[in-house]
Chains A and B, each alone.
Chain A
Amino acid sequence: MVQKLLILDGGISGGERASRTEKTGIFVSSQKDSQQKEKKATMPFGNTHNQLKMKYTSEQEYPDLSKHNNHMAKILTPAMYERLRDKQTPSGFTLDDIIQTGVDNPGHPFIMTVGCVAGDEESYEVFKELLDPIIQDRHGGYKPTDKHKTDLNPENLKGGDDLDPNYVLSSRVRTGRSVRGFCLPPHCSRGERRAVEKLSIDALSSLQGDLKGKYFALKNMTEEEQQQLIDDHFLFDKPVSPLLLASGMARDWPDARGIWHNDKKTFLVWVNEEDHLRVISMQKGGNMREVFNRFCTGLTKIEALFKQKGHEFMWNQHLGYVLTCPSNLGTGLRGGVHVKLPNLSKHDKFGEILKRLRLQKRGTGGVDTAAVGGVFDISNADRLGFSEVELVQMVVDGVKLLVEMEKRLEKGQSINDLMPAQK
Chain B
Amino acid sequence: MTSSFTRMLSSRSRVAVLASLGAGTLVTGYLLSDTGRAVFSERRKMFPPSADFPDVRKHNNCMASALTPAIYARLRDKVTPNNWTLDQCIQTGVDNPGHPFIRTVGMVAGDEESYEVFSELFYPVIKDRHNGYDPRTMTHPTDLDASKITSGMFDENYVLSSRVRTGRSIRGLSLPPACSRSERREVERVVVQALSDLKGDLTGHYYSLGEMTEEEQQRLIDEHFLFDKPVSPLLTAAGMARDWPDARGIWHNNEKTFLIWINEEDHTRIISMEKGGNMKRVFERFCCGLKEVERLIMERGWEFMWNEHLVYILTCPSNLGTGLRAGVHVRLPLLSKDPHFRKILESLRLQKRGTGGVDTASVGDVFDISNNDRLGKSEVELV
The yes or no verdict on A and B being binding partners is yes
Chain B residues with Cβ under 8 A from A317's Cβ? 3-4
A14 to B36, CA, bound (A): 33
Q: Which residues from 198 to 245 on chain B have a C-beta closer than 8 Å to any C-beta of chain A?
A: 210, 236-237, 239, 241-244
Q: How far is the CA of A49 from the CA of B43 in the complex (A)?
A: 19
Q: How far is the CB of B100 from chain A (nearest CB, A)?
A: 17
- Taken together as a complex, chains A and B put the C-alpha atoms of A15 and B23 apart, in Å, by 38
The reply to whether B51 and A190 contact each other, CB–CB distance below 8 Å, is yes
Complex Cα distance, B136 from A42, in Å, reads 27
With A and B bound together, what is the CA distance between A64 and B172 in angstroms? Answer: 24
Query: Per-residue CB proximity of A35-63 to B under 8 Å, as 1/0?
Result: 01111111111111111110011001111
Q: Which of A163-171, A307-315, A382-390 contacts B (4 or more CB under 8 A)?
A: A307-315
For residue A8, CB closer than 8 A to chain B, the reply is: yes
Query: Of A17, A52, A88, A318, which contacts B24 at CB under 8 A?
Result: A88
Cβ of A252 < 8 Å from any Cβ of B? yes
B12 close to chain A: CB less than 8 A: yes
B28 within 8 Å of A (CB atoms): yes
Smallest beta-carbon distance B119→chain A, Å: 5
- Residues from chain B with a CB closer than 8 A to the CB of A126 are 25, 28
| A53-B11 in contact (CB<8A) | no
A49-B182 contact in complex given A15-B308, A15-B310, C-beta closer than 8 Å? no
**Of B37, B117, B236, which one neighbours A39 at CB under 8 angstroms?**
B37
Would you call A41 and B43 a contact (CB within 8 A)? yes
In the complex, A246→B239 CA distance in Å? 8
Chain A, residues 177-194, CB within 8 Å of chain B (1/0): the string is 000110000000111101
Q: Is the CB of B83 within 8 A of A40?
A: yes
Shortest A82–chain B CB gap in Å is 11
B95 touches A48 (CB 8 A): no
- Interchain nearest-CB distance for B315 vs A (Å): 16
Hey, what's the 0/1 contact readout for A83-99 against B, CB within 8 Å counting as 1? 10011111110001000
- In the bound complex, residues from chain A placing their C-beta under 8 Å from that of B117 are 24, 27-28
By the criterion CB–CB under 8 Å, are A103 and B43 in contact?
no
A292 to B1: give the CA distance in the assembly, Å.
30
With A15-B139, A49-B83, A310-B12 in contact, do A63 and B243 touch (Cβ < 8 Å)? yes
Does A253 count as interface, using CB distance less than 8 angstroms? yes
Measured as residues with beta carbon below 8 angstroms from the partner, the interface class of chain A is: 35 or more
Q: B112 an interface residue at 8 Å Cβ cutoff? A: yes
CA distance A26 to B308 in the complex (A): 19
Q: How far is the CB of A266 from chain B (nearest CB, A)?
A: 31
Interface centre among A36, A57, A88, A318 (most CB of B within 10 A): A88
| Min distance, Cβ A222 to any Cβ of chain B, angstroms | 15
For the complex, is B181 an interface residue (Cβ under 8 Å from A)? yes
> Which residue on chain A has the smallest CB distance to residue B15?
A181
Complex Cα gap A298–B245 (Å): 46
The residue among A90, A92, A191 with the most chain B CB atoms within 10 A of its own CB is A90
In Å, the complex CA distance between A4 and B300 comes to 13
Q: Is A241 an interface residue (CB 8 A)?
A: no
CB distance from A23 to the nearest CB of B (A): 11
In the complex with contacts A8-B171, A15-B310, A90-B23, A52-B54 CB distance below 8 A = no
Tell me whether A100 is interfacial, beta carbon within 8 Å. Answer: yes
C-alpha gap A14/B320 in the complex (Å) = 15
CB-nearest residue of chain A relative to B185? A60
Chain A residues lying within 8 Å of B23, measured Cβ to Cβ, are 90
Q: B36 contacts which chain A residues (CB < 8 A)?
A: 39, 90
Which residues on the B side are within 8 Å of A181 (C-beta)? 11, 13, 15-16
Q: Does A356 contact B (CB under 8 A)?
A: no
B243 in contact with A88 (CB, 8 Å): no
* CB within 8 Å for A122 and B19 given contacts A15-B307, A90-B24, A317-B3: yes
- The answer to whether A24 and B116 touch across the interface, beta carbons within 8 angstroms, is yes
Q: Is B22 an interface residue (CB 8 A)?
A: yes
Q: Flag whether B154 is at the interface (Cβ < 8 A).
A: no
Find out whether the CB atom of B81 lies under 8 angstroms from the CB atom of A27: yes
Contact of B172 among A4, A43, A195, A312 (CB under 8 A): A4
Q: B181 touching A61 by the CB < 8 A rule?
A: yes
Residue B101 lies at the interface, judged by CB distance under 8 Å to chain A: no
Chain B residues touching A, range: 35 or more
B171 contacts across to A, CB distance below 8 A: 4, 7-8, 11
Taking CB atoms, residues of chain A closer than 8 Å to B115 are 14
Say yes or no: B33 contacts A11, CB within 8 Å. Answer: no
* Interface pair A49/B84, CB less than 8 Å apart: yes
Contact of A245 among B25, B27, B236, B243 (CB under 8 A): B236
Type the 1/0 row for A324-355, where 1 means its CB is closer than 8 Å to any CB of B: 00000000000000000000000000000000
Contact B182 A39 (CB under 8 A): no
**Are B81 and A6 within 8 A (Cβ)?**
yes
Asked whether any CB of chain A lies closer than 8 Å to the CB of B295, the reply is no
**A15 and B135 form a contact (CB under 8 A):** yes
Task: Assess whether A48 is in contact with B85, with CB atoms less than 8 Å apart.
Answer: yes
Q: How many whole Å from A347's CB to the nearest CB in chain B?
A: 41
A50 to B37 alpha-carbon distance, docked (Å):
17
Q: Is B305 an interface residue (CB 8 A)?
A: yes
A87 contacts B85, CB within 8 Å? no
Contact B77 A37 (CB under 8 A): yes
Instruction: Provide the residues of chain A in CB contact with B91, threshold 8 Å.
Output: 44-45, 251-252
Residues in B with CB closer than 8 Å to A57 are 182
Tell whether A413 is near chain B: CB-to-CB under 8 Å: no
In the complex, A104 has a CB within 8 A of chain B:
yes
Contact (A44, B87) CB under 8 Å given A63-B246, A189-B52: yes
From residue A205, how far is it (CB to closest CB) to chain B in Å?
21
Bound together, the chains give a CA A318 to CA B3 distance in angstroms of: 9
13 chain-A/chain-B pairs, Cβ below 8 angstroms: A4-B172, A10-B113, A11-B112, A15-B309, A21-B74, A37-B79, A44-B85, A60-B186, A86-B27, A100-B242, A125-B1, A180-B16, A310-B12
Known: A15-B139, A255-B54. 9 other contacts (CB 8 A): A7-B112, A7-B113, A11-B171, A19-B123, A28-B79, A49-B174, A63-B243, A64-B243, A104-B242
Task: Please report A residues at the B interface, Cβ cutoff 8 Å.
Answer: 3-4, 6-8, 10-17, 19, 21, 24, 26-28, 33, 36-53, 56-57, 60-64, 83, 86-92, 96, 100, 103-104, 121-122, 125-126, 180-181, 189-192, 194-195, 219, 245-246, 250-253, 255, 310-312, 315-318
Residues of B near any A CB (own CB < 8 A): 1, 3-4, 7-8, 11-13, 15-16, 18-19, 22-28, 33, 36-37, 39-41, 43-44, 46-48, 51-55, 58, 74-85, 87-88, 91, 94-95, 112-113, 115-117, 119-120, 123, 135-136, 139, 171-172, 174, 178, 180-183, 185-186, 210, 236-237, 239, 241-244, 246, 303, 305-310, 313
